[in-house]
Structure 1
Amino acid sequence: MVKITNVLLDKKVDSRNIQFIMDIASYAELAGDIINNNPYQRNKVSKSGSIYNLLKEDILKQCIIPPIVLASTSKLAENASPEELLKEVLSDSGNLKILDGLQRTLSIIDVYNNNREHFERLDEEYLIRVEVYLSISDTGILYRMLTLNTGQTPMTLRHQLEILFSKYAEGEFNGVSILREVDETSVKSIDSYRFSDLIDGYTSFLEKNELPIDRFDILQTVRTIKFVSGEAAAKIEFSDFLISYRTLSLAFQSRFPEWIYPAEVNDDLKIEANPFGREVYKIFNKSQPLTGYGAAVAELISSKTIAGLDEVSNLASRLEFDEDDLLRLIKFLDDIRGQFKKIGNGQRIFFKLFFKYLLDRDGSSFLNVSDSLERAKNRAMAEV
């Protein structure tokens, strides 16, 4: 049984929204076909004693649960009736995604599959309220997911930002492997980055701020990049940011191709804690240098000290190194660890200063890694 209850237009995402009810058996069958269609959904909540176990008990008692929100990316005829549109959408399960209500859906499937006879004996059908967005764009889906899920603890801030910026990870990145939060794997080479770390860096670039964004700043970031408007998004794309940063990290990798933090270090370079990174990629393929770089290069572009990210790529091949630069970098980060209350923020400040001094053609340490490291360390320590 499927019955339409309302049809509305969502002008923000330019999509018609059909609200309807359907019996639990029909929804459980549909949900089984679409449950894995949305790669950006939260993971299943499986803790015993969770609110979702209570929900399962409520479903057995025919509790009315909040509506479940779906989205269809199918291209539909504009002159068709709502009934015809809904029928077509529900039959095209490959293009249906769950935007809100994943945990409710999992609970419904579980309860129905384990209690079919119970529901078949009911005098009246147990009805599920559902709404579906028609012919919605990818960015519209991401925006609606963000606004529907913000504030729910099972979805981490990083996961929300992955959703927000996911369209930027669809292009070619010259052999770069981008690891999302749901991939559950780690960075293992100079050619791989965690998507969340790249997002940290890109957000710092957009905001000219190396410090982490908090959960209440997400919607401000949406506005900043004009994510769902009909206007152009950020003038400088995520891919441009990644490519420019990568040229710098590859310059270090090329200069120190087999570098591993040594077992023995001279007294003046010894550290108190574990090194920030034992290999080049373990130093540079992290959030702290990415955010520092993002904030630094944004300020340099804003002040017209450099023309843009393309210029960074050209400058990377001209960097001047000393043999102990990586050891000095690790040493300076260790010194900062002992001075800043929030170690990560201190490291981000250091990297911002380092990249700013390194790429400032008007400065005394332009393209000189050693001098830029020294100046960044002294300035960062002065800011404690």
Structure 2
Amino acid sequence: MKKRKVMRIDILSRINDEKIGALNVLAEILVKDYLRIAKHIIDDNEMQRKKVKSSKTVYSLLRNDLKQGCTIPPIFLAVRKEAIDENEDEYLQNITDDEIKESIRDKKLIILDGLQRTHQMLALEDELKKTGDKEALDKFHTRRLRVELYVGINKIGILYRMLTLNTGQTPMSIRHQIEILYQDYITDTKIEGVELLREVDGPKTIGVGRYKFSDVVDGFQSYLEKNELSFDRATLLDDIKSLEKLSKKGQKVELFQQFLKSFHKFMEKIEEISDGWEFSKSDYTDDFVQPFGRNIANFYLRPQVITAFGAIVGVLEENDVLSDFDELCDKLDDLVIGGDIYEVYYDFLSNLEHIRTTSKKIGNSQRRYFYHFFKSLLNINDESSLNVRKAVKKARQMYNVEFL
């Protein structure tokens, strides 16, 4: 049996965080021991962000400061859920210092704040090993580092703390925050021919059947709220309690699947009736300096489009125009382009170019235009129903009435 390496961890204080229902523990640990843990945290935790590439920034200066014994702010960690007993309240009331230390040694942790500092400490460790400066390495390794550990924190608490702690140069993106809330859907959503791509996976080519998870969640959130507009960091903090109801495992999963299935059905059908359409300057002259999209995936797989789709489906359901997603999927079988493909997309691009050149808030205006587009396209009581050409023209009329 392999003997576990001795790791010195000193517990300094314990405070209950009543806001998020977790135990906050202040501890000190040797830099060497923390870095041994940190390597596992970064490699094994799929929720953790990637290293920020920076050579001439504050991070490169930090490595020099660390060499000179500069102290740094505490690293904030959270014990992962699987390390907690089922009876969480009783566990937190009775947990001992030794059990807290054991949870740290077991490396079932998430870095809430201090990820980039951790990367720079690891980089300095590698640098000192490569140069062979054993004296400097030993001195660095034996310095003490303060960590704040949250024990018993749930997914909402993790997000809340990430939001409130991340005020530095590289805050977690809104999309990554949303992915944390809805991460259960990644494994629970199994739709044939559909792959969900996460931000932590890095850049991957999107297309019909390959969707950004955060974009789909944006659309689903728009469906639930019947509002196509995006929400920012402050809004996410304000709405944390309502989002908690949707993030629990098992809740809304089937509804999320149905939403994704219907959007996928739309993408399959629009790709089919668009017959391989692609933007070409030779076809469209110089009318479009910055065309909204250059092919079907590039055109429709944008947050502006999927949030508008979600918002209008929610509105149509509320108004009893649509009964459910199954009815929507059935109706999408009858979707038609309604005219010459070149002319339809010329009008589409013209409308979006007009928005780009006249709107002060382009993204929101594009969302609103697509809201009107889907309202015309998916409303069975509208003369433009299931006809892309007619819906494009009707959307421009409705947009002009609203904004001009």
Q: Same fold (TM over 0.5)?
A: yes
Aligned to 1:36, what secondary structure does the other structure show?
A: helix
CA distance in 2, matches of 1:51, 1:168: 37
Instruction: Find 1:148's aligned residue among 143, 165, 171.
Output: 165
Q: Give 2:96's aligned residue.
A: 82
* Alignment check: 8 A CA contact 2:219 2:308 kept: yes
1:96 maps to amino acid:
L
Distance in 2 separating the partners of 1:153 and 1:103: 8
Distance 1:352 1:229 in 2: 26
Structure 1 distance, partners of 2:329, 2:167, is 36
Does structure 1 retain, via aligned residues, the 8 Å contact 2:304–2:363? yes
Which residue pairs with 2:182 in the alignment? 165
TM-score of the aligned structures, taking structure 1 as reference length: 0.84
Could you tell me which amino acid in structure 2 is paired with residue 69 of structure 1? F
Residue in structure 2 matched with residue 289 of structure 1 by the alignment: 305
Match of 1:134 in 2: 151
Q: Return the alpha-carbon distance in structure 1 between the equivalents of residues 246 and 379 of structure 2.
A: 35
Question: For residue 353 of structure 1, what is the aligned residue in structure 2?
Answer: 372
Partner of 2:61: 54
2:184–2:249 contact (8 Å) kept in structure 1: no
Partner-residue secondary structure (3-state), 1:39: coil
Structure 1 distance, partners of 2:252, 2:240, is: 11
Call closer, same or farther: CA 1:56–1:252 in 2, change over 3 Å: same
Question: What is residue 117 of structure 2 aligned with on the other side?
Answer: 104
Q: More deviation in 18-27 or 36-45? A: 36-45
Counterpart of 2:118, as a letter, is: T
- Displacement of 1:190 in angstroms is 1.0
Counting aligned pairs with the same residue, the percent is 34
Cα 1:118/1:304, change in 2 over 3 Å: same
Are the structure 2 counterparts of residues 100 and 204 from structure 1 closer, same or farther at C-alpha, using a change threshold of 3 Å? Answer: same
Query: Aligned ranges for residues 211-230 of structure 1 at < 5 Å?
Result: 211-227=229-245
Q: Unaligned 5+ residue runs, structure 1? A: none
Alignment of 1:4-19 (within 5 A): 4-19=11-26
1:44 counterpart residue number: 51
Structure 1 residue 10: Cα displacement: 3.5
Q: How does 1:170-319 map to 2 (within 5 A)?
A: 170=187, 171-227=189-245, 237-261=255-279, 271-273=287-289, 275-319=291-335
Q: 1:108 and 1:215 mapped to 2: Cα distance?
A: 29
What is the Cα deviation at residue 355 of structure 1?
0.8
The TM-score, its normalising length taken from structure 2, stands at 0.80
- The answer as to whether partners of 2:206 and 2:212 remain within 8 angstroms in 1 is no
Deviation at 1:96, TM superposition (A): 2.3
Alignment: residue pair count: 380
SS at match of 1:187: coil
Q: Distance in 2 between matches of 1:293 and 1:121?
A: 58
CA distance in 2: counterparts of 1:377 and 1:290, whole angstroms? 18
CA offsets, 1:19-46, max 9 Å, x none? 2111222222222232223333333234
CA contact (8 A) 1:180 1:196 kept: yes
- Residue of structure 2 equivalent to 1:68: 75
Mapped to 1, the partners of 2:84 and 2:167 lie a distance apart of 30
In the alignment, residue 288 of structure 1 is paired with which amino acid? Answer: Q
Q: Secondary structure at the match of 1:306?
A: coil
- Alpha-carbon distance in 1 for matches of 2:17, 2:365: 44
Question: Within 2, Cα distance between the matches of 1:215 and 1:71?
Answer: 21
The 3 A distance-change label for structure 1 pair 278 and 296 is same
Residues 173-200 of structure 1: per-residue CA shift (max 9 Å, x gap): 3321222233333434311122333233
Map 1:304-383 onto structure 2 (within 5 A): 304-324=320-340, 327-339=343-355, 340-341=358-359, 342-382=361-401, 383=403
80 and 91 in structure 1: CA distance in 2 versus 1, 3 angstrom threshold: farther
Deviation at residue 266 of structure 1 after TM alignment? 9.2
Instruction: For residue 290 of structure 1, give the secondary structure of its aligned residue in structure 2.
Output: helix
SS in 1 for 2:46: coil
Distance 2:144 2:320 in 1: 61
Residues 121/317 of structure 1: CA separation in 2 closer, same or farther (3 Å cut): closer
Q: Which amino acid aligns with 1:89?
A: S
Q: 1:261 to 1:111 in 2, by over 3 A?
A: closer
| Secondary structure of residue in 1 paired with 2:242 | helix
The one-letter code matched in structure 2 to 1:242 is L
C-alpha distance after superposition, 1:212-243 (max 9, x if no partner): 32332221343332358889966984333222
Deviation at 1:347, TM superposition (A): 2.7
- The C-alpha deviation readout for 1:276-305, integer Å capped at 9, x for no partner, is 334333322222211221222222223333
**C-alpha contact 1:18 1:82 (8 A) present in aligned 2:** no
Counterpart Cα distance in 2 of 1:338 and 1:312: 30
List gaps (5 residues or longer) in structure 2.
1-7, 86-90
Distance 2:206 2:10 in 1: 52
Q: For 1:236-263, what per-residue CA distance to the aligned partner results, in whole angstroms no more than 9, with x for missing partners?
A: 8433322221222222223344444577
